[in-house]
Structure 1
Amino acid sequence: MDQNRSPLIVYANFFSDVAVSFTAHDVLTEWAGQAPRKIWLLQPGDALVTPVAPSGAFRRYACELLGVPSESLKVMTSPPTTGLSMAEALHQAGLMGSLRGLVTARPGAELLPVVLDASTADLARRLGVAVAAYGPGGPSGSAVDAVYRFNTKSGFRALAAELGIRMPEGRVCEGPAVEATAAAMLRQYERVVVKPDRSAGGHGLYFLSRAETVPALLRNRLTGTWVVEERLDVVRPVSIQMHLDASGLRVVFSGEMRVQHGSYTGYVSPLSESGGTVTAELEQWGVALGHHLARSGYAGPYGVDAILAADGRLYATESNVRRTATTTAQFMASRLARAAGLDAPAWLLGRRRTRAPHGFKDAVRLLGRAGLSWASDPAGRAGGVVLYGDAPADGRSWRYAVLGSTRTAVVETEEALVAVMEFEDPLPQW
């Protein structure tokens, strides 16, 4: 634990208009279900402001693994409101007084949001609280603008062209022109993917080929900005995560994504090299993006997603100027491993369905009986499974992390986990 850092108010603002539009309320609600896992970021005296509260069982489990007294953490729940940012929902629910109380009780506290959107920057100013990674003056308007711009497909595509970052061939167009643009692209390429400009996690993608009929939805019924892009044959989807602050740029981690039908389902780090050039090129792109973000005044986490294509070359697909599904997991893995004397852990994330439903305590017992729970021994060996997220509503759609000393070790542990949890779907080949 960092005894010298300021107290944190972790602000799980999944209800934000940065990654997707507020009109995608169902998607935002689904993502908000991941908010309880932000508890892995907390130290004694910190607070979590969340649209979904962690269950008592998950909170006790996480705190026990972290060595943090559960009662030393404050959790405040902010009920979401359709069409509103989290900050606006807090105000509408009459919770601003309670939030000010959290700030007052933590002198020098910093606000750590999932994403620096306009409503969060305004909320921090009204509360008189610093945003983590920014000085007393807070984030500038240009920093917030950069967040909005580079969490769009078109914004990153334009910048990539300036910075010499390779991307698949593509065109930006408005909704009514999508069908014609896709038809023109399909005359040149065998397959294309149609992406909403503001989208994450595979939301709203359409995959088309010459042999298929264009879906009726694409026929002059779409609104907003879209990108139509050549769909390449993918060998591996990969990413790099970076951090930018007053001390400069640094690589936090890189790894390989699990993707099904365009949607993210898991991750493994570190990245297994192919030809020894993938990580180097990812870092080059991450540094180039970081220097541009620094000029805008942005500070905090960001990353670049990419694919290694069948032609042997790497192509960037998007940037994420925010915390992503992997940043909290990596922090958790490093935190647990460091306490166990493991300086550079390998780790993976999975999301899978069990044949039968389980409660959280039942799942913990299953892992314990099988000897798969995260643990370390006096010899410095450490590894095992962490139930990274809270119990799913259906008792079957579990999120988990596996930590270990090597990539091979975590993959082998996951194979054992399949039998213990009785997952329905087979493991992908890494």
Structure 2
Amino acid sequence: MTTLIIGNSRTWEMVGDLAALTSDQLRGGGCAAQRMLWFARDGDVLVLPFAPPADYLSYVTHLTGTRASSLTTVIPPPGSLGSDILTPDRLTDPHFLDNLRGVLGSRPPTRIFAVYKDLSITGLARTLGAEAALPGYPFSAQAGDALVNSKAGFRALAAGAGVPTAPGTVVARPEQALEAIADLFDQGHSAIVKMEFNGGGLGNEVLSRTDGVVPTGAPRTVVLPDRPALQSYVQRRWEWLTAGHAHRLVVERFFPRSTTIYAEFIVTDEAAQLIGVGDLLMQPTAIGGVLPAQTIDAETRAELLDGARRLVESLRVLGYRGVVCADAIATVDKQVLFTEINCRLTGSTHLHLALYGRVVDPGYREKRIFLERFGWAVPSFTAAVERLGTAGLAYDPTSRTGVVITSNDVDADGTVACCAIADEPQAAEELHRRRGELFVDQSA
């Protein structure tokens, strides 16, 4: 029973134009791929862009109870963008395929578990004679995952399922964008424009006629006081917004001071299983998350789940299989409006399936708050682990509380991500406060 785990954490259909990513962003994608270690079990085979750091491998497998020595990692030769992420050319390299076949031997994997199932992943499954091991292979092999990860496609799917979204439209030409944005401005609203393919809010911009609109879910607000300014913006930014005219653009009404919530599922042939409802922390783009959601009441949660289940059932009927995260905003007047779906592993899937599903046992996890924050600057991963332990903040399997380092981005930007596990929100915040003081005595 071998699972082939593939860390293709950045693809063109996840984050847009890969060639436009900086070297630090590419390296960050490779560091994110190492989170696939959280899903590994004894005897599994991992395909990663580069070898996992030994200290991170040991740390994760100790918490999950996996024998590190039983895991096999296969690293493809560098590709068109180097060795930081798994580009399609790396996954089709003949030497890599020979090595992978040698590792698997005469037995194809019983399951293939990838971050995102694009055509390079379905092609790999076909090459290995393991189509049946990849959930939803027939759909994914026809580029179906691109269809359901499109923010433009999402609006059509949501409309067909009767799921509420922010007022807006999908445009394909600059003049259409101009009129859609101007229409929202004329109604007294700000707008948010979204690249068809991107993640974490990084492909979005908030547009406003006036100053003072704080962006949420986008890196910045652009002030466009009149129609000439709007025309100039569309002309200047059209190529970026459409990834060089390759994609469409979503234009929606922007709702200030809204909170971002989500419901995540696993879709199988038979049904969709809910694995988590949480808050996404925005400042102004994603900086972490909370499981279970703390910002919404029971009525709002019910509305979220009602819409999310309708979306997920539509995806199941289409033929998609795997993880689905339905994102929404809860507005200040208590509307629940869906904003996108992510049909891939998300930045929270490891919380649901590994920390919530394996590290914290079933008898306690319903009584725990999981609060993850990105961006803790540390001298090294090992130093962070040691300092947490010395301070008495490290996760304690007896009390089922403490801080877990979930992602190791030290090689990219000098930071790690941490999840505080506690019995109440205030206690989780206090763990993060104390954790944040551990390296104030030295530069990171």
User: How high is the TM-score relative to the length of structure 2?
Assistant: 0.84
Q: Which residue in the other structure is 2:406 paired with?
A: 388
Q: Which residue in the other structure is 1:123 paired with?
A: 124
Q: Secondary structure at the match of 1:63?
A: helix
Cα distance change of structure 1 residues 252 and 384 upon mapping to structure 2, 3 Å threshold: same
Q: Which residue in the other structure is 1:190 paired with?
A: 189
Q: Which residue in the other structure is 1:248 paired with?
A: 271
Over the residues paired in the alignment, what is the CA RMSD in angstroms?
2.7
Aligned-pair CA distance for 1:385: 0.7
Aligned-pair CA distance for 1:203: 2.1
Matched, 1:291 2:313: yes
Matched, 1:358 2:379: yes
Match of 1:72 among 61, 70, 73: 70
Contact 1:353 1:397 in 2 (8 A): yes
Aligned-pair CA distance for 1:80: 4.4
Q: Distance in 2 between matches of 1:389 and 1:105?
A: 34
Q: Distance in 2 between matches of 1:23 and 1:107?
A: 31
Contact 2:122 2:140 in 1 (8 A): no
User: 1:187-234, CA deviations, whole angstroms, 9 ceiling, x for partnerless residues?
Assistant: 223311111111211122121101323475521642231011111023
User: 1:11-56, CA deviations, whole angstroms, 9 ceiling, x for partnerless residues?
Assistant: 1112423223344551772333211111111111011111133211
Q: Distance in 1 between matches of 2:397 and 2:36?
A: 23
Instruction: Please give the residue correspondences for 1:322-401 in structure 2 after superposition, counting only pairs within 5 Å.
Output: 322-339=344-361, 342-344=364-366, 345-354=368-377, 357-377=378-398, 381-393=399-411, 396-401=414-419
Aligned-pair CA distance for 1:412: 2.8
Cα distance change of structure 1 residues 413 and 142 upon mapping to structure 2, 3 Å threshold: closer
Higher helix share: 2
Q: Which residue in the other structure is 1:139 paired with?
A: 137
Cα distance change of structure 1 residues 86 and 391 upon mapping to structure 2, 3 Å threshold: closer
Q: Distance in 2 between matches of 1:143 and 1:105?
A: 24
Cα distance change of structure 1 residues 360 and 353 upon mapping to structure 2, 3 Å threshold: closer
Aligned-pair CA distance for 1:105: 6.3
Q: Which residue in the other structure is 1:48 paired with?
A: 46
Cα distance change of structure 1 residues 192 and 230 upon mapping to structure 2, 3 Å threshold: same
Query: Which structure 2 residue ranges, 5 or more long, are not aligned?
Result: 211-222, 240-244
Q: Distance in 2 between matches of 1:88 and 1:396?
A: 29
Q: Which residue in the other structure is 1:7 paired with?
A: 2
Contact 1:14 1:86 in 2 (8 A): no
Instruction: Please give the residue correspondences for 1:208-247 in structure 2 after superposition, counting only pairs within 5 Å.
Output: 208-211=207-210, 212-213=223-224, 214=229, 216=232, 218-219=234-235, 221-222=238-239, 223=245, 224-247=247-270
Q: Which residue in the other structure is 2:331 paired with?
A: 309
Aligned-pair CA distance for 1:335: 4.0
Contact 1:237 1:308 in 2 (8 A): yes
Q: Secondary structure at the match of 1:19?
A: helix
Match of 1:17 among 12, 15, 36: 12
User: 1:344-383, CA deviations, whole angstroms, 9 ceiling, x for partnerless residues?
Assistant: 24212111243xx411111111101110001122xxx211
Counterpart of 1:403, as a letter, is: I
Q: Secondary structure at the match of 2:401?
A: strand
Q: Which residue in the other structure is 1:427 paired with?
A: none
Of 28-37 and 152-161, the range deviating more from structure 2: 28-37
Matched, 1:95 2:113: no
Query: Which structure 1 residue ranges, 5 or more long, are not aligned?
Result: 1-5, 425-430
Q: Paired residues, what number?
A: 410
Cα distance change of structure 1 residues 187 and 163 upon mapping to structure 2, 3 Å threshold: same
Instruction: Please give the residue correspondences for 1:239-278 in structure 2 after superposition, counting only pairs within 5 Å.
Output: 239-261=262-284, 263-272=285-294, 274-278=296-300
User: How high is the TM-score relative to the length of structure 1?
Assistant: 0.87
